[in-house]
């Protein structure tokens, strides 16, 4: 039988669709896009790059991409919004788009693999399971990660996307990473939650002290000891991180963004933004639009 006759025979076996506008789709598959992968093995507060992000340097991060962090070697500690996470060797954690995070403590020697990516469609709902915490890296996941890295280094975009999706699928049943974060009723978690919900309001030390019903000195000491960073630094950094989101996604002018993020004036906003990101808010907005 010729190939065309085989096609005709196969086509005749097709049933008429129940719905002509809804059918097979890959939307339920995890197929990340715009994948970037690299290794972080040092911390340098002097650089404006990824290595410089830490609480000690006063730098926090928040962006529109997913970040998969694989602690291949070395353990450390990081803050993720209202919780403090211990990142143990062999842990895998997923950071979500626009989720504020910062590094509290990193070891002198470590090798942490980062995979950042974008994702659209129903697959985003599948990854919501990772908000409950990280997973332990097992032999199956190690093999799947090796396949991903091979595809990534070959610059095979589709192959790397499929392989990374398999990593997530393979880790669905992996052992959960140990939870040592702050509880929801912890004072530091309450402070962080209050800050992020009241960025336009008064977040000076007297106002925070009154809201938490503790003395200012106790508030400062508890926050620094638990969060690994000063409260004032945290407030300023969260405001600036929120500003980057508004600059990327919104149409508000700079004065409105300064007001929405709690800065007293456009001048003070611009000065603080330049100090943290080494560029003005308008330059940041232009760069993000060019990237988009």
Look at the block and give the residue holding tokens 């149409």.
Answer: 251
d(CA 75, CA 176): 16
Which band of pLDDT confidence, cut at 50, 70 and 90, is reported for residue 74?
A: very high
Per residue in 138-164, pLDDT tens?
999 999 999 999 999 999 999 999 999
Residues 155 and 50 occupy one common structural domain: yes
Residues 48 and 129 occupy one common structural domain: yes
Which band of pLDDT confidence, cut at 50, 70 and 90, is reported for residue 119?
A: very high
CATH number (domain holding residue 128)? 2.60.120.280
Residues 162 and 68 occupy one common structural domain: yes
pTM of the model: 0.69
- Cβ contact 43:78 at 8 Å: no
Residues 48 and 162 occupy one common structural domain: yes
Q: Note whether residue 14 is domain-resident.
A: no
Per residue in 16-38, pLDDT tens?
898 888 887 776 789 999 999 99
Q: Answer with the one of 170, 195, 226 that is the final residue of a domain.
A: 170
Q: Count structural domains, the chain.
A: 2
Residues 129 and 253 occupy one common structural domain: no
Residues 80 and 159 occupy one common structural domain: yes
Residues 203 and 251 occupy one common structural domain: yes
Residues 213 and 125 occupy one common structural domain: no
By percentage, how much of the chain surpasses pLDDT 70? 87
Q: Answer with the one of 170, 197, 224 that is the final residue of a domain.
A: 170
d(CA 265, CA 273): 12
Residues 156 and 37 occupy one common structural domain: yes
Residues 204 and 150 occupy one common structural domain: no
Domain coverage including residue 280: 187-291
Per residue in 211-250, pLDDT tens?
998 898 888 888 877 766 788 888 888 898 889 888 887 7
Residues 202 and 240 occupy one common structural domain: yes
Residues 76 and 125 occupy one common structural domain: yes
CATH number (domain holding residue 239)? 1.10.10.60
């Amino acid at each position: 039988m010729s190939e065309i006759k085989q096609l005709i025979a196969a086509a005749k076996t097709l049933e008429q669709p129940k719905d002509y506008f809804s059918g097979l789709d890959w939307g339920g598959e995890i197929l990340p896009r715009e994948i970037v992968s690299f290794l972080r093995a040092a911390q340098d507060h002097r650089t404006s790059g990824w290595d410089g992000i830490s609480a000690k340097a006063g730098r926090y991060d928040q962006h529109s991409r997913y970040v998969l962090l694989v602690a291949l070697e070395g353990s450390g500690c990081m803050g993720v919004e209202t919780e403090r996470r211990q990142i143990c060797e062999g842990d895998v954690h997923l950071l979500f788009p626009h989720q504020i995070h910062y590094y509290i403590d990193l070891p002198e020697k470590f090798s942490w693999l980062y995979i950042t990516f974008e994702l659209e469609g129903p697959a985003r709902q599948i990854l919501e399971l990772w908000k409950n915490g990280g997973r332990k890296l097992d032999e199956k996941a190690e093999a799947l990660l090796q396949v991903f890295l091979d595809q990534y280094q070959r610059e095979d975009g589709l192959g790397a996307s499929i392989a990374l999706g398999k990593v997530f699928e393979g880790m669905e049943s992996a052992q959960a990473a140990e939870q040592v974060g702050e509880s929801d009723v912890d004072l530091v978690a309450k402070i962080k939650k209050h800050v992020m919900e009241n960025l336009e309001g008064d977040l000076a030390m007297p106002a925070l002290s009154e809201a938490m019903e503790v003395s200012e000195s106790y508030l400062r000491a508890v926050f620094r000891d638990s969060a690994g960073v000063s409260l004032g630094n945290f407030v300023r950094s969260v405001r600036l991180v929120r500003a980057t989101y508004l600059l990327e996604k919104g149409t508000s002018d700079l004065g409105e963004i300064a007001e929405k993020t709690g800065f007293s004036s456009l001048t003070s906003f611009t000065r603080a933004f330049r100090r943290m990101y080494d560029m003005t808010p308008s330059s940041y907005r232009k760069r993000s639009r060019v990237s988009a």
